[in-house]
Structure 1
Amino acid sequence: MKKNAIKEKIKRGEQVLGVFLGINSPPLVEMLGYAGFDFVVIDDEHGAFSPSELENIIRTADSVGLVPIVRVSYDPSSIQKALDRGAKGVQVPMVNTKEDALDVVKRAKFPPYGNRGVSYSTRPARYGKDSGKPYLDESNENVMIIVHIETLSAASNFEAIATVPGIDLAFIGSTDLSVNMGYQLEGASHPEVQKVISELFIKGKELDVPIGTVASNSEAANVAFDKGAKFVCIVLNNVITTALSDVISASKATQSVK
């Protein structure tokens, strides 16, 4: 089993860049890999993927050197199914307490670190060619567990959540955080939301816990990296819609000149 490339990079202190994908499009995933992104987060929380579509997207990501991470849904079996499809890690939304974090680790790790169900007939076990303790140990070592910090409760419990053994990275969900704080209109740009986010970056550095966050474009990604983020995820839909709008605007501008 290959090492989890982004987990290894983050351990070395490197920064990684990926995208949130909510569209079932293997060709688009190939384009992301050829463009040079480090990882793709397949959004099973807000996106629309069947289990077989999820596996095909993961398979495509593997083929172009993208590390496939799944942002899981609220279904209790979602972590198990994502990892059994071949995901190299999971992003888990709405982790608000230490108990939530402990439960995530239990679901994502095989015994003795967790209680993930074992099957050697799945894709990550090469349909039965890998099995036993070597496979279980390698899976436990390589799976990347990312928890979302996206409520005031989660922010106040940050240290208890982020220091649970097995948690690899804390991801700041700035949109949900701003809504949870009551700033639906201003969003994450509100000073109070930015204050909480800044405090989370400081706590992450103090505790040696890598921080991840979302970005709308390359400029926002660079700002996040400058703050100390190790894992930045660009919203692909925003990039696509902005690019399409720019094409329309440029075309209309050209037409008006004629």
Structure 2
Amino acid sequence: MINHVKEKLKKGEKVLGSFISFYSPNLIEMIGYAGFDFVIIDEEHGAFSHSELENMIRTAEGVGVVPIVRVSYDQSSIQKALDRGAMGIQIPMVNSQADALEVVKKAKFSPLGKRGVAYSHRAARYGKDAGESFLNDSDQNIIVLAHIETMEAVRNLNEIANVEGIDGIFIGTTDLSVDMGYKKEGAQHPEVQKVLSLLYRKALETDMIIGTVASDVNGIQESYKKGAHYVGVVGNSIIMSALESVVKDNRATKQAIHP
């Protein structure tokens, strides 16, 4: 069990992934063949059955892309994602040290956490992996990222990030801007940008792994320059933008031919 994303982050390398929020093993194959480091299977906003989630994770492994699950608010979501073979989890709305401790409790085995133990599931190769080696490998290789999406979380950043078992943070820029009251301007509002700068500065000062979301290549590069190590693009938005571009270019061509 080797998590190539976690290994790269330990070496200080930058990694790139893509969110996907609908059931499509084919799209995950394309993400892998395109060369992404990881895929974020989005249970928070997506719609997946447990078996579909497992198939998406299996597909990711087949094309060499690390499967990460952004879990839902269901109490069993962390357990189910990890038992199905997820190599990492992103947890929405971690607002306090108590929230972070609860995440670790669900994601890590005893003594650090209280994750339920079983060896009959897919992550343990249906019983082929068992005992101390499986438990230790799982705890060491799975990456756990806490979402910072509210001003409460910003104020509690150090307490959240310092919880043993939390590997880093993920800035949810859209949720943060809404929480701050800037629904119209979003993350581009100057006050939101000030908070984002503060988060990056604190992360750099404490050598904290920091992730965020980007909408395009420019956004990816800007995030890296600010100090992000782990960037996820929204696959749905990229696909939609590409489709709209085809229609727009086609209309422009038609007008040029038939003015």
- For the criterion TM > 0.5, the same-fold answer is yes
Aligned to 1:31: 30
Q: Distance in 2 between matches of 1:238 and 1:257?
A: 28
Aligned residue in 2 for 1:76: 75
Aligned to 1:235: 234
- Partner SS state of residue 86, structure 1: coil
Per-residue deviation, residues 78-103 of structure 1 (Å, max 9, x unmatched)? 00000011000110000000010011
Q: What letter matches 1:53 in structure 2?
A: E
Tell me what 1:58 maps to.
57
Tell me what 2:225 maps to.
Answer: 226
Between the aligned partners of 1:223 and 1:42, the Cα distance in structure 2 is 24
- Which runs of structure 2 are paired with 1:68-147 in the superposition (5 Å)? 68-147=67-146
Give secondary structure in 1 for the equivalent of 2:182: coil
What is the CA–CA distance in structure 1 between the aligned matches of 2:210 and 2:143, rounded to whole Å? 13
CA distance in 1, matches of 2:137, 2:17: 24
Unpaired runs of 5+ residues, structure 2, are none
* Corresponding residue number in structure 2 for 1:154: 153
Residue type at the aligned position of 2:95: N
The CA deviation at 1:219 is 1.1
Q: Distance in 1 between matches of 2:26 and 2:73?
A: 27
What residue number does 1:163 align with? Answer: 162
> Secondary structure of the equivalent of 1:70?
strand
For residues 208 and 219 of structure 1, the distance between their equivalents in structure 2, rounded to whole angstroms, comes to 24
**Runs of 4+, deviation exceeding 4 Å:** none
Cα deviation digits, residues 61-88 of structure 1 (max 9, x gap): 0000110000000011100000011000
**What count of residue pairs does the alignment treat as equivalent?**
257
Quote the Cα distance in structure 1 between the aligned partners of 2:22 and 2:46. 7
Alpha-carbon distance, 1:170 to partner: 0.4
Gaps of 5+ in 1: none
What TM-score does the superposition give when structure 2 sets the normalisation length?
0.98
2:248 — aligned with what?
249
Query: Which amino acid in structure 2 is aligned with residue 220 of structure 1?
Result: G
1:186 aligned onto 2:175: no
Displacement of 1:257 in angstroms is 1.1
1:3 shift after superposition: 1.3
Structure 2 residue identity aligned to 1:37: F
Q: In the aligned structure 1, how far is the partner of 2:14 from the partner of 2:218? A: 15
Identity across aligned pairs (percent)?
Answer: 59
- Looking at structure 2, the residues matched to 27 and 20 of structure 1 have their Cα atoms a distance apart, in angstroms, of 14
> Could you tell me which amino acid in structure 1 is paired with residue 47 of structure 2?
A
Give the distance between the partners of 1:41 and 1:163, measured in 2 at CA: 24
Secondary structure of the residue that 1:147 maps to in structure 2? strand
| 2:197 partner amino acid | S
- Cα distance in 2 for partners of 1:196, 1:163 equals 20
Cα deviation, 1:123-164, whole Å, max 9, x if unaligned, reads 010000110001101111011100000000000100000111
| Cα RMSD, aligned residues only | 0.5
- Aligned counterparts of 2:49 and 2:22: Cα–Cα separation in 1: 12
Secondary structure of residue in 1 paired with 2:41:
strand
